[in-house]
Amino acid sequence: MFKNSEILKAREQQEEEKKKLQDEVNLRGKQGQDTSKGEQVWYSRRVDDGCLLHWAIITHGLKYELRLPNGNVPKDKLPESEKTSSFEPPRVYEARVVSWSLKEEMNKLRALKLSTSAKGYHTRDYTVCQIGWTTLTKDEVNTEWAAARSSIAAEDLGYDDCRELLKKFGGIIKKPEGCALDYDWFTESLETPTHRLSEITPDKAVKGFQNSMQNGLWGVAAAGAGAGIVYGAYEAGKAMDPMRSGANAGGSLGPDCCCATCWCCTGMAGDGGPCWEFCAWVPCMALSGGCSC
């Protein structure tokens, strides 16, 4: 009898937590449809095995990004003398601004989830959340970005440089009235030292809303802002891996080339040419280990 009572109590607690989580997800959904406070501001952060791949602010149809060159995890091995058990090795980040939309960012996130599998002990976090609204125009936001970048004297940006730049650029959101529910997590993530990157993850409500957006359960006002006919043709980097680009069965091909449903891409496998991370929304067909429209 006592055991049944404990089971019932546990179930009631689970239902209560589930309802609370759904309420928080719904709040983020309503927030994502609100344009009365200004232009929505979204934040994207990607961490792979304790390596920060990118930070990005998305607003006015533009993506203000700080990322590793080509957006890839460095594969070169460090000398034993430079290895450490607690800190990420020094890395250089590039700053850039590209036409982008929330929809494109969610497509990228979805493609990466479908196309990259964890092997063994592997930690990966890719978070996209709304952090607020800005009343500044696109030109004014561009001016703020330029000012934040010029405030960093170094030509090559390190991890701490990126954090300081984003703290300054975050001023496009007027506090407190321009802050969204996840603004505090944004500021917390900018205080994260490299050895804690795998620890600082958003709460369940953030991930729950993110999954809802991916599944089309919530349509948000900024979803298509800035989106064009061609999505994300901006990743000029390593050539396609022929193992991932040689088939068009509708499966996942990998983050460096096509999205999970295999769309048209540039470059042939192994030719050393540029490869588009996302491509035009038209089917592509496999051709000699590459993709062709």
pLDDT of residue 282 exceeding 50? no
Residue with tokens 């009343």: 135
**Are residues 155 and 130 both part of a single domain?**
yes
Which among 187, 214, 241 is the end of a domain? 214
Say if CB 61 and CB 102 are below 8 A apart: no
Amino acid at 175: K
Report whether 126 contacts 112 (CB < 8 A). Answer: yes
- Reply yes or no on whether the pLDDT at 204 is more than 80: no
Omega of the bond leading into 176 within 30 degrees of 0 (cis): yes
How many CB atoms within 10 Å of residue 49? 14
- State the residue range of the domain holding 236: 229-293
Q: At residue 274, what are phi and psi to the nearest 5 degrees? A: -70, 155
Residues 129, 38, single domain; the answer is: yes
Look at residue 248 and give its three-state secondary structure: coil
Whole-structure pTM value: 0.66
The reply to whether 157 falls in a domain is: yes
pLDDT band at 79 (very low <50, low <70, confident <90, very high): low
Domain boundary among 190, 214, 238: 214
Closest CA to 110 of 218, 239, 212: 212
- In the predicted model, what is the mean pLDDT of residues 11-23? 83
Give domain status of residue 114, yes or no. yes
Residue 2 belongs to some domain of the structure? no
Confidence at 220, pLDDT banded by 50, 70, 90: low
Do 193 and 262 fall within a single domain? Answer: no
Whether 261 and 187 share a structural domain: no
Strands in the chain per DSSP E: 39-48, 51-59, 62-67, 94-99, 124-134, 285-287, 290-292
pLDDT in tens, 151-191: 999 889 999 999 999 999 999 999 999 999 999 999 999 99
The tally of domains found in the chain comes to: 2
pLDDT at 236: 31
* Pair (172, 44) in one structural domain: yes
Residues 126, 123: Cα–Cα separation, whole Å: 10
Burial 241-268 (b: 16+ CB within 10 A, else e): beebbbebeeebbbbbbbbbbbbbbbbb
What tens digit of pLDDT does each residue of 108-147 get? 887 877 656 555 556 678 888 999 999 999 999 999 999 9
142 assigned to some structural domain? yes
Q: Residue 290 is encoded by which pair of tokens?
A: 């590459």
Tell me the three state secondary structure of residue 160: helix
Q: What is the pLDDT of residue 87?
A: 54
* DSSP-derived pairing of the beta strands 124-134 and 39-48: antiparallel
Pick from 68-72, 93-97, 173-177, 274-278: least confident: 274-278
Are 47 and 143 in the same domain?
yes
Stretch among 65-69, 77-81, 168-172, 198-202 having the lowest mean pLDDT: 77-81
Higher pLDDT, 245 or 81: 81
Please say whether the beta carbons of 100 and 43 come within 8 A. no
Pairing between β-strand 62-67 and β-strand 94-99 as defined by DSSP bridges? antiparallel
> What is the pLDDT at residue 190?
93
Query: Distance between CA 71 and CA 105 in Å, rounded?
Result: 13
Q: What is the pLDDT of residue 254?
A: 35
Mean pLDDT of the chain: 71
Greater confidence (38 vs 121) lies with 38
pLDDT band at 44 (very low <50, low <70, confident <90, very high): very high
pLDDT at 20: 82
